[in-house]
Structure 1
């Protein structure tokens, strides 16, 4: 291959700017665009599952974490392919093509004709959209995971051995590009999602929210290929991870093949690999296994951390995102994490850690990681407390055995009502306020004289409208929504009490004709100032405006006294069915602060610890192990969420916090008995012993050859002597 051919030639000196290879510019831009693409798509993914595909919270969370887990399992495959066959450059190019294709498929999967849509806004031909989405996500997971272990290492390959300072600065810039891409994408893609676009009728613009990340991934691929001629491309030299696995496998196999007492015991089970592998490799594997053993409790941290994109985002949909100068979308709250990272990393490095050091406290890496896990647990305690406050503001929806009803008086006089055991009087064109609970059918008495038996469907909410279109009043029953409106929008419907049919619309969305004494379907209206147009068949028009918050539901009553003209809005009366979200999104900031502080202390320290404790040629093995803990953490979310089956979300948050605290205690116990090592010294010692062993074997070989030659000459002399003696005797 071209890459192998390059290795036979002297390494060409790359063009440099300020002492840095020009080639790293293309790598940094590629990483920025790729991270924008990944985090931008992931920011809106759980909302796409819930509101476009129509999945419930639990299933949306399950698929989300399955996807994230797959993204962190595929790096092992990418590392093996790059190191064993294709090399880093070709692996990045080929898998980036797969990656970009997956992003394009995701954007296409979100396109549907509004005429082929269910009443809840989800596409009717669901199987097609789900199938496309799953194919796209698998390709994205293969692409982003496969290139993950290659890009940073490929960037490091661009530097000469004497450019250690420049290489260190490159990795800082590289990490900054990751966070910059993450920050910008989690701000921009939710804005794109909130836009209205579509065929025939506007709808939430998921195709644009996925399409822009797809375009950025194509840009990332093009930029990376443009720099091809400037890169230093090293040939694949065999994957050390495969070699380590083979060494471990041989040790286990050899141990079980020699279980009888006649074989002497060995100090470590890896010593059973000595028959095939040299002692230096075995010592290096021992060091790796020692660190990997400490990794066992770590997935629990990631199980909590990655719920920012699932459970926490869904939590934000039930909160008030009005910050005054700007409106925050639920999926935009994820931007708090990268913002805090950019703030906390320098504060930790330049203030907190030096201050702890001056206090003569031994804040070792493993102790830092323990603190990081504890902070993450506190973040979920905070999330649980926030959820409790949210639940107190949510309406009490009916259980499966209870029906709920509220009553509206459409008469122009006060109306005494007795509904079962409830007695109250309704003013004209008003409701009784809160919903009343009924376990069975009940008697409705209107105006002390008219009795009706109402039997409402169990588990549903209903509005009973009292009208009079004959000699006596009578009730009309309509089914109400029994869930909070999606995505912080507002559910609005109209009851037409006017004497003729009305056409009602909001922007380009039309409820269709609403006949006298009938209720329109719900329409979803975003937060802000809504303007409704009310028209009759003669073309007369009334414009009614309403200021809306997040997550409310209203029935707008058009009174029988309605007249078109300047004061037409005075004959429209709003009745609140579900109050707007009142608990502010700002209350999520403490939990984001705690989880981000935990990430900085845990993740950055963990990578530093792994690097310092890893043999020189096996740092990639521990990197693969670290990424594997992220994948396992997301799998834990699936297991706990499915097995726990808790009815209250706050209880699930506390459960995760409790599990992490338990794991934190176990990790602290393991860390207490861990002995820090210097891999360089150990490797040097074994290398020296190997040299001595080779010298000893060389001397023994020389002696053996000399002894064999001596014996051969002696046997030759003895043979000649005997033959001559025999000849003489015959003579």
Structure 2
């Protein structure tokens, strides 16, 4: 005899669609963070962008990535639905990942617009669609949904951590072009994985509110076949909704405004932190050389380790009767952000001063020599003197856009008379000097690959390049462990501010405004990079790094001082709301989130 479906028990396992959400998000985040990991140095090393402009461009790119979620939410909620919005905007996202490897500023910047659009539009829709899938297929299973979002969050950080290690390695051992194929392939895989799970996802409908005193229009469908249902609201209801939004924003607006300063500092890990490590730090961990842009992977791996620990810590404190308010967590997070900047500042003051030098690069590696007596743009056919090192070539060519010299064939004569040949853009020698030989020859720092890796460079014709760089004497560089420590501290701050702040905002908002608050939260990151980082990062190249990071540390001290009365006012407002409004599930423990 059949059983009424309504009385069937709800399954307690994850729905099949979760697998597609998890692996699709893993591949997409791996793609995004991998591309972003090497983008700053790609701009400075291959496109000829100076550090001030590169910092600004990185900030504008990240800002755009957090602006387009607002567009993505609107398009999905009003026209295409979440599934088709994700699929359709993923296509230019995939194409852009292939285009970004083309060494042309206009192509790259155009690709970055498409990347920001694709990443941003996808961001709010995939997590919301996953939540809808659980609501429809696992109703009432709140703990299961919490578990799903925890794994979803881990997918993001696992993807980021892996790609932030892999991309610099691919770039160093092969090329930027080869490295950018990795996220392009991952994004294509993410699209296929997500699209393959369509039948396992939630059934979507779109609700549109219309102001009318009569019946609403008849239901229709979108161009993607999603049912559209109209709901009639009065002008009074619309006005009340607007008033409620203003009330919520007035309560959480100052909190969000101060969180903006955290994101401004945190997101500089993609620009100024990399520039600092590249110039001022000895990038060796456990005896293994690493690149300046691999260090950012520590953030993702620290998140994976520390989030479960933080959940256990605050749950244990709560059970012991020691309730920690959300605003208290955030205040400590702001202090930790300032501490991270103080650590970076200390490292900056400990490091030696930078000086201009010239880096001559071939597929076999590079050598750093003193600056030329003649500006690079004025070097013509013949010999260019880089301190005691003389480079002779008949085919010197200066690339104004990339601000570097190129030549295919010539000789490099060291101060001790030893000559190295450059043939077809490759550095050739029967035997390369040892460390003492390079020093006698007037080379500031040899950066050649190992013999095995030089053999892999091949003989395909290319161009050797010479460009001016910031250089610090190896003996005056500080250990990269300073930056690892700063990452540990700022990751703790991220957990205390980002995770806590978003949950706090959800508690402060009524059920009907959860999506609106999420949009406001994303807008905070957008504004942090647009209004703060885009102009502030331009100061990094003209300030001593110790002073620059000390300035950021000082800014966080001011934020903490301002946050204290803001937090007190917020808590008073929430307490008043709790006393005058009915308790709602999820809003009872406002101050102990």
| TM bracket, shorter-chain basis | 0.7 to 0.9
Distance 1:684 1:103, change over 3 A: same
Matching of residue 302 in structure 1 with residue 263 in structure 2? yes
The equivalent residue for 2:447 is 526
Distance 1:289 1:496, change over 3 A: closer
The equivalent residue for 1:158 is 133
Matching of residue 178 in structure 1 with residue 156 in structure 2? yes
Matching of residue 615 in structure 1 with residue 490 in structure 2? no
Out of 178, 181, 186, the residue aligned to residue 208 of structure 1 is: 178
1:661 CA displacement: 1.8
The equivalent residue for 2:574 is 676
Contact 2:341 2:549 in 1 (8 A): yes
Out of 115, 120, 125, the residue aligned to residue 140 of structure 1 is: 115
The equivalent residue for 1:468 is none
The equivalent residue for 1:64 is 58
Q: Secondary structure at the match of 2:55?
A: helix
Matching of residue 338 in structure 1 with residue 300 in structure 2? yes
Contact 1:386 1:587 in 2 (8 A): yes
Matching of residue 311 in structure 1 with residue 272 in structure 2? yes
The equivalent residue for 1:190 is 168
Contact 1:78 1:146 in 2 (8 A): yes
The equivalent residue for 1:73 is 67
Q: Distance in 2 between matches of 1:237 and 1:132?
A: 39
Higher helix share: 2
Matching of residue 655 in structure 1 with residue 551 in structure 2? yes
After TM superposition, the score normalised by the length of structure 1 is: 0.60
User: What do the CA deviations read for 1:436-487 (whole angstroms, capped 9, x no partner)?
Assistant: xxxxxxxxxxxxxxxxxxxxxxxx973399xxxxxxxxxxxxxxxxxxx9xx
Q: Secondary structure at the match of 2:284?
A: coil
Contact 2:157 2:300 in 1 (8 A): yes
Q: Distance in 2 between matches of 1:239 and 1:178?
A: 34
Out of 327, 330, 339, the residue aligned to residue 366 of structure 1 is: 327
User: What do the CA deviations read for 1:18-42 (whole angstroms, capped 9, x no partner)?
Assistant: 6221112111111101100100000
Q: Distance in 2 between matches of 1:284 and 1:332?
A: 42
Distance 1:45 1:365, change over 3 A: same
1:324 CA displacement: 4.2
Q: Distance in 1 between matches of 2:335 and 2:29?
A: 28
Q: Distance in 2 between matches of 1:680 and 1:31?
A: 37
Q: Distance in 2 between matches of 1:298 and 1:173?
A: 25
The equivalent residue for 2:336 is 375
Matching of residue 149 in structure 1 with residue 124 in structure 2? yes
Contact 2:272 2:540 in 1 (8 A): no
Matching of residue 462 in structure 1 with residue 409 in structure 2? no
User: What do the CA deviations read for 1:141-176 (whole angstroms, capped 9, x no partner)?
Assistant: 001011111010100111232222221211111111
The equivalent residue for 2:427 is 510
User: What do the CA deviations read for 1:93-130 (whole angstroms, capped 9, x no partner)?
Assistant: 111112112112113x14xxxxxxxxxxxxxxxxxx00
Q: Distance in 2 between matches of 1:78 and 1:212?
A: 26
1:589 CA displacement: 1.6
1:348 CA displacement: 1.6
Out of 79, 84, 93, the residue aligned to residue 78 of structure 2 is: 84
1:619 CA displacement: 0.8
Contact 1:614 1:679 in 2 (8 A): no
The equivalent residue for 1:113 is none
Matching of residue 322 in structure 1 with residue 292 in structure 2? no
Residue pairs, 1:18-57, within 5 angstroms = 19-57=13-51
1:208 CA displacement: 1.7
Contact 2:317 2:323 in 1 (8 A): no
The equivalent residue for 2:193 is 223
Structure 1: state its 5+ residue gaps.
1-10, 111-128, 197-204, 243-272, 399-434, 436-459, 466-484, 486-491, 514-518, 534-550, 554-576, 687-731
Contact 1:381 1:654 in 2 (8 A): yes
Structure 2: state its 5+ residue gaps.
212-233, 358-369, 371-384, 391-403, 405-410, 431-439, 455-468, 585-593
Contact 1:89 1:233 in 2 (8 A): no
The equivalent residue for 1:233 is 203
Contact 2:38 2:293 in 1 (8 A): yes
- Provide the aligned C-alpha RMSD in A: 4.0
Residue pairs, 1:305-454, within 5 angstroms = 305-318=266-279, 319-351=281-313, 354-355=316-317, 358=320, 363-391=324-352, 394=354
Matching of residue 627 in structure 1 with residue 522 in structure 2? yes
User: What do the CA deviations read for 1:34-57 (whole angstroms, capped 9, x no partner)?
Assistant: 100100000000010111112221
1:75 CA displacement: 0.6
After TM superposition, the score normalised by the length of structure 2 is: 0.73
Q: Distance in 2 between matches of 1:532 and 1:600?
A: 41
Q: Secondary structure at the match of 1:208?
A: helix
Q: Distance in 2 between matches of 1:223 and 1:680?
A: 44
Q: Distance in 1 between matches of 2:115 and 2:128?
A: 21
Contact 1:646 1:652 in 2 (8 A): no
1:238 CA displacement: 3.8
Q: Secondary structure at the match of 2:324?
A: coil
Residue pairs, 1:506-585, within 5 angstroms = 509-510=426-427, 526=447, 529=450, 579=474, 582-585=477-480
Contact 2:389 2:441 in 1 (8 A): no
Q: Secondary structure at the match of 1:234?
A: coil
1:133 CA displacement: 0.3
The equivalent residue for 1:601 is 496
The equivalent residue for 2:378 is none
Q: Distance in 2 between matches of 1:614 and 1:170?
A: 23
Distance 1:35 1:682, change over 3 A: farther
